[in-house]
Amino acid sequence: MTAGADQNMAFRIIVDTLGIAVTRGARSFTKLLNKYIQANWQLLVIAAQAAILFRITGQGTARY
């Protein structure tokens, strides 16, 4: 093996390891997000409705 091939192999291993770490992180993050959304679904719905009402009544638009 040449030095270039060794570097290539090392680089591949690093990229693979990072890729695994990132996908695992993303999976656990989405799981957390799903739990959070399920727990606070009612709050999110209420907040969305309040925002819509706020906009409809014209209080959401800045008036000078």
The answer to whether residue 39 is domain-embedded is yes
Q: Is the confidence at residue 64, as pLDDT, over 50?
A: no
In a domain, 12, yes or no: yes
Find the domain containing 36 and state its range.
3-56
Query: Does residue 62 form part of some domain?
Result: no
Q: Is residue 61 part of a domain?
A: no
Q: In the chain, how many domains are there? A: 1
> For residues 31 and 64, what is the distance between their CA atoms, to the nearest angstrom?
44
Written as six digits, the tokens of 57 are 């009544």
Do the domain assignments include residue 36? yes
Does 30 reside within a domain?
yes
Q: What is the DSSP string of 10-29?
A: HHHHHHHHHHHHHHHHHHHH
pLDDT classification of 2: cutoffs 50, 70, 90 = low
pLDDT at 38 over 60: yes
What would the pLDDT profile of 12-34 be if each residue is shown by its tens digit? 888 887 777 777 777 888 888 78
- For the cut 80, the answer to whether the pLDDT of residue 9 exceeds it is yes
The answer as to whether 64 is a domain residue is no
Two tokens, residue 35? 């739990």
pLDDT at 10 over 80: yes
Q: Is residue 63 in a domain?
A: no
